[in-house]
Copies of this chain bind each other. A is one copy, B any other.
Amino acid sequence: MFEQLGLIGCGLMGSSFALALKRAGLVKRVVGYSKSPSTTERARQMGVIDVEAPSALMAVSGADIVLLAIPVSATEATLKAIRHLVGPHTLIMDVGSTKRDVVDAARRVLRENVGAFVPCHPITGKEVSGVENADESLYAGKQLIITPIERTFTVQLKKAIDVWTALGCHVMQMSPQAHDAAYAAVSHLPHLIAFAMINGIKSQEHGKDYMALAGPGFRDFTRIAASDPQMWRDILLANRDELLAQSKIFQQSLQSLEELISSGSGDALQSLIGQVSETRASWRISSPKTNK
């Protein structure tokens, strides 16, 4: 049970965390801060936070658990703003989709207290953002990746695991490097591709007409193209090396397929699609249920 959550960032991820923590009876009071005062006010009106803080530092004052739920590029500046109130007994976590850049920022800013910072990435989200879409069930049944570093305090790591587990997450640990390599392949690249494909269609004269004819396959394939622009700008830039490496592998694979199509190599094409189809058909999304 925590006394006070200091919530920095009252968007979808942060607000949903606050609601989930409250519902689980794990926190007495939530003090929240958002860059936009109207968002902070709205979060209080909705009961997501109990008290509006006028600054990130004030949100951390008195908190024994702090969540940074902000674009990853804002991590360093935010940690600088709050570091004077971060002691070894505070649990600080983030929910960023990239981890090497976040961990590097934490090392630079928090120094001897970096062990209080537990880098987290919940594998969940929505294509709508903002406190208005806060959902106390956003984290239930989802994967939660923790990427501790060698200096992470074991006591804070344990607390972080416990709190996410209490919210219904399946917690996994890996290095920030392994995290960023994996999510470049299975999350950042799909987003980049979806952005590029919609951009390619809408640049065409008849692009709008084409989209009007699209069906359920297109709907699901492009769902992630409606994601938050600032958040995804940050992710694509923060993980650019791994992402561009994955994009290269993808483009080579695409060119192999194009060659089979150009040359009319039906058998080889069917065999390749068959292997892909089998791989995808036998894949299951990971969840606490299926992993236990």
Give A contacts to B, CB under 8 Å: 73, 123-125, 127, 142-143, 145, 172, 181-183, 185-187, 189-204, 206-207, 209-230, 232-233, 236-237, 240, 243-244, 246-247, 249-254, 256-258, 261-262, 264, 266, 269-277, 279-281, 283, 285-286
Contact = CB atoms under 8 A, between A and B. Distances in A.
Contacts of A275: 199, 202
A104 to B, nearest CB: 16
Contacts of A214: 123, 186-187, 283, 285-286
Given A197-B250, A210-B185, A285-B214, A261 B276 contact: no
Contacts of A280: 194, 198, 222-223, 225-226
A99 to B, nearest CB: 12
B223 A279 contact: no
A196 B247 contact: no
Given A200-B250, A211-B186, A223-B221, A127 B257 contact: no
- Ranked nearest first, the 7 interchain pairs of A and B with the lowest CB-CB distance are A200-B253, A123-B215, A186-B214, A229-B274, A196-B254, A233-B270, A229-B273
A257 B187 contact: no
A221 B285 CA distance: 13
Given A225-B277, A230-B270, A276-B195, A213 B183 contact: yes
A199 B237 contact: no
A216 B210 CA distance: 26
B213 A143 contact: yes
Contacts of A269: 233, 236-237
Contacts of A201: 185-186, 249
Given A236-B261, A254-B247, A257-B195, A182 B210 contact: yes
